[in-house]
Amino acid sequence: MRPEILFPLFAPAASLKGIGPKIAPLVERAAGPLVRDLAFLCPQGVIERKRITVQAAQDGLVQTLVVRIDAHLPPSRRGAPWRIRTLDETGFLFLTWFKGGGPHLETQHPPGAARAVSGKLERFGIEAQIAHPDYLLDAGRLDDIPLIEAVYGTTAGLPSRTLRRLALEALIKTPDLAEWQDPAWLARKGWLGWRAALERLHDPKTVADMDIAAPQRQRLAYDELLAHQLAMAQRKAARRREAAPIIPASPVSDALQAALPFRLTGAQNRSLSEIRGDLLVGERMSRLVQGDVGSGKTVVAMLAMADVAASGGQSALMAPTEILARQHFETLSAPLAAQGLSVMLLTGRDKGAGRAEKLRALASGAVDILVGTHALFQDDVVYARLDLAVIDEQHRFGVAERRRLQDKGASVHLLAMSATPIPRTLELTQYGELDVSRIDEKPPGRTPVATRAVPLPRIGEIVQRLKTVVASGAQAFWICPLVAESELMDLAAAEARAADLRQHMGPRVGLVHGQMPPAEKDAVMQAFTEGKVSVLVATTVVEVGVNVPNASIMVIEQAERFGLAQLHQLRGRVGRGVRESSCVLLYDPPLSKTGEARLDILRKSDDGFEIAERDLALRGGGDPLGLKQSGFPAYRFADPIAHKDLISAAADDARLILARDPGLNSPRGQAVRVLCEIFDWQAALGLTDAG
C-alpha cells in the first residue's frame, strides 16, 4: 500500500495547473504520466543569462538587458518582421518578430516604457538584435528573469520553458519526507536533503550545479541506486526462501572431470564450488557465470549438469542460435555419454515423428540433458523433472523467454552464462539480483593472438598476406563492417567483399549472413569447420561462435565502428589451436584520439575484464544511451559510468540495511520503504530473477 504522503507525487501529471487535454500527451511523452515524472525530469543543460549593456553585449550569447522602448517599426512589406527599436545609455537594440508580431506588441510595450529583455543577441554590422526574445517584461520584474536557467529536452509543441514551469509546479507538490540516508554518510558527502537536492536540480544557482558530479545530482543518483539495490536484494532474499531440489556433488561428475584431457583452472574450480554450494542448500539458485571467450564456462556447466543427472533430475541448456546449440551438443555428447548420461538436441528444425519421439523420451525421463534453442520452452515440451536451466549468452534472450524455460519445472535452478566481461561496479546494476561467479583465467594451451591495427588503404597487403597463409593450410574469418542501419546494405558490402576475395583466392571463400536460410547457413559453417572453406566472410548479424581450432586469422574491417567488447569477442574466435594466431583491425583513417586509444587497448591486452574496465574509463560520464542499449537499467538520475563509485556503496548499504532490519520496521527502515515506493523499482523487477 503506497503511503498517503506520496499521493501528490503519484497523481496524474494532468492534475497540474496548465496541463490541458492537448498538452497532456506531450507531457507524457517528454516526462511521463505522473507528477513524479515531471519532478524527476532531469534538465539537459543550462542557459546563463548575463546582465549586460548594449555596448558590452557579445555576439551569439544569451544576455539580459534593461532598455527603454524607443519606437515600433511595423513591416514595410508582406513577410517582413515586426521590429521594436529600444535603447539604453550605451546604444540601440532591435527586437524582432518574424511571426507572431503585430499591433498588440505596441499596446503591451508602448514607447517610453522601461523593459527587461533576454534572449540570444546577434550583431549585424553595428546593429544589435534579439529575435523572438525569451523574456520581455516590465523593468521592475528584472529579477523574474533567472540568471541561470535549466534547459529541458523539448518535444514538438512543448518548449523547454514550458517543461521548466511544469517541473517547478511538480516540485511544489513534492512533500518533505523523512531522511532515509545514514546521517554520517550524508555529513561525509556534504549532500543536501532529498527535496532540497530536487529544488537545486530544477533551479540551479551556478553552471556547475548542472554537472553530473554536482552534489545534488550525486545525492539523487545515490537515492535511485539505493532503491534499485534494495529492490534487487529483497528479490534475491525472496528467491532464496523458495525451496528447491538439493543436489549434491556426485561421483559421476568427479569421474567426468577426471576423464577430461585437461585440468580445470583455479577460476573454474572456484566457480564450480560456488555452484555446488548453491545447489546443496535447498534454495533456488540464480547464478551468472561470467567469463571471457574461451575461459571454459561450458565445462563448468557440464559438471553441474552431471551432478543434477546423478541426483535424478534433468537439465536444459539453451543457446541463442542453432549453430551454437549444435556446437554445445557436439562438445557435451561424448564425455557425458562415456559416463552413461543421455544428451539430446532439440531445435526448431525437428519436425513430425522425429520430434514427437524426442519429446516422448524427454517426458519419460530417458533424457538427462536437453540442448537446444527456443524450442526448449515450447508449450508441448514436457520434462520429467527439470531441475537446472543453463542459459548461454543469456543477454540474447528476453526475460519472458528465460522465465518460460524455468517454468517447465518446479523451483528450477538457473545458471546463466555470459562471455561479455563487465566491470564489477556495473555488474551490480545489471546483475545485482544474481550471484556472480567470475572465470578470470584462461585454460592453459590457448595460443596468444597477436593483434595489430592496419589502415584500410593497405587492405591489398592484407589480402596478399592472407592468400599466402591460407595456401599453407590456415583458415581465416573476415568480418565485414556495420555500414548502415540496413541489413540489406550490410549484406551488399559482405557480398562484394566475398566476391573480391574469391578473385584473389579462388572458390574456397564462404559467405554467411543473417538472411540465409538456416540449412544453407549451417552448410557453409560446416564446410568451414571441416576445412573445405578457407576464408569465411560474415556480417555482424550472424553468430560466428563456432569452435574451429584451425582458424588462426581474424580480419575485422572498419574496426573503429565496433565496440571494444564486440572486437574482443570476435578476436576470441581464433587462437584455439596450435597455429600462431593473429587479429587484424582494419581501420578507416584518420582515427579520433578516443578511437586510437580503443584500438591500442585491444592491441596491448587480451584480458576481457581489463578491457571492459578501460573501456569504461574511456567512455567517461554522460553515455547512458550506450549503456541502455547494453541492457543497463533506465535510470533517471544515475549514470552508471559517472556514478560508478556510488554503485558499490549503494549495494553495500542495501545489504547492511536488510541485514539489520529485514522487515524495514525501524525509523530508518520506514523511511527506506518510502524511498523504494518513490522509485517503484519492484514493479520493474517483476521478471529479472529469470536472469
pLDDT tens digit sequence for 114-127: 999 999 999 998 89
Among candidate residues 561, 582, 605, the one where a domain is terminated: 605
Q: Is residue 626 included in any domain, yes or no? A: no
- As to burial, measured by CB atoms within 10 angstroms (0-12 exposed, 13-18 middle, 19+ buried), residue 137 is middle
Q: Is the dihedral of CA 365, 369, 372, 377 positive or negative?
A: positive
Q: Is residue 215 included in any domain, yes or no? A: no
Q: Which of 647, 654, 657, 658 is nearest to 424 (CA)?
A: 647
Q: How many structural domains is the chain composed of?
A: 4
Residues 460 and 334 in one domain: no
Q: Which of 531, 521, 522 is nearest to 579 (CA)?
A: 531
Q: Is residue 234 included in any domain, yes or no? A: no
Q: What is the CA radius of gyration of the chain?
A: 31
Residues 331 and 344 in one domain: yes
Q: Is residue 219 included in any domain, yes or no? A: no
Q: Which of 450, 474, 464 is nearest to 585 (CA)?
A: 450
SS3 125: coil
- Return the ∠ at Cα 397 (arms to 393 and 401), rounded to 5°: 135
Report how far residue 597's alpha carbon sits from residue 595's, in angstroms, rounded to the nearest whole number.
5
Q: Is residue 615 included in any domain, yes or no? A: no
Among candidate residues 544, 574, 605, the one where a domain is terminated: 605
Take residue 311 and report the three cell numbers written for it: 541426483
Q: Which of 559, 512, 516, 515 is nearest to 538 (CA)?
A: 512
For residue 590, whether the previous peptide bond is cis, meaning omega lies within 30 degrees of 0, is: yes
Residues 540 and 600 in one domain: yes
Report how far residue 189's alpha carbon sits from residue 497's, in angstroms, rounded to the nearest whole number.
56
Amino acid in position 291: G
Buried b (16+ CB within 10 A) or exposed e, 91-106: bebbbbbeeebeeebb
Residues 185 and 306 in one domain: no
Q: Is residue 638 included in any domain, yes or no? A: no
CB 323, CB 522: distance < 8 Å: yes
Buried b (16+ CB within 10 A) or exposed e, 504-520: ebeebbbbbbeeeeeee
Residues 40 and 54 in one domain: no
Q: In 365-458, which ranges are continuous DSSP H helix?
A: 399-406, 424-431
Residues 90 and 8 in one domain: no
Q: What is the CATH number of the domain that holds 410?
A: 3.40.50.300
Residue with more model confidence, 285 or 397 = 285
Q: For residue 500, is pLDDT > 90?
A: yes
Residues 59 and 26 in one domain: no
pLDDT at 688: 41
Per-residue pLDDT of 408-451, as tens digits, reads 999 999 999 988 777 777 788 877 888 999 998 887 767 788 99
Q: Is residue 226 included in any domain, yes or no? A: no
Give the distance from CA 149 to its chain's centroid. Answer: 31
Residue with more model confidence, 618 or 218 = 218
Q: Is residue 272 included in any domain, yes or no? A: yes
**Boundaries of domain holding 418:** 251-439
Q: How confident is the model at residue 629 (pLDDT cuts 50, 70, 90)?
A: very low
Report how far residue 6's alpha carbon sits from residue 195's, in angstroms, rounded to the nearest whole number.
13
Q: Which of 546, 537, 545, 482 is nearest to 512 (CA)?
A: 537
Residues 77 and 36 in one domain: no
The backbone torsions φ and ψ at residue 47, rounded to the nearest 5 degrees and listed phi first, read -110, 130
- Considering all CA atoms of the chain, what is the largest pairwise distance in Å, rounded to the nearest integer? 100
Residues 479 and 521 in one domain: yes
Could you tell me the pTM of the whole model?
A: 0.80
Residues 108 and 15 in one domain: no
SS3 392: strand
Give the distance from CA 27 to its chain's centroid. Answer: 26
Query: What average pLDDT does the segment 356-378 reach?
Result: 95
Residues 488 and 544 in one domain: yes
Q: For residue 167, is pLDDT > 90?
A: yes
Residues 475 and 597 in one domain: yes
Q: How confident is the model at residue 134 (pLDDT cuts 50, 70, 90)?
A: very high
Question: Up-side HSE of residue 625: CA atoms within 13 Å toward CB?
Answer: 0
Report how far residue 509's alpha carbon sits from residue 16's, in angstroms, rounded to the nearest whole number.
65
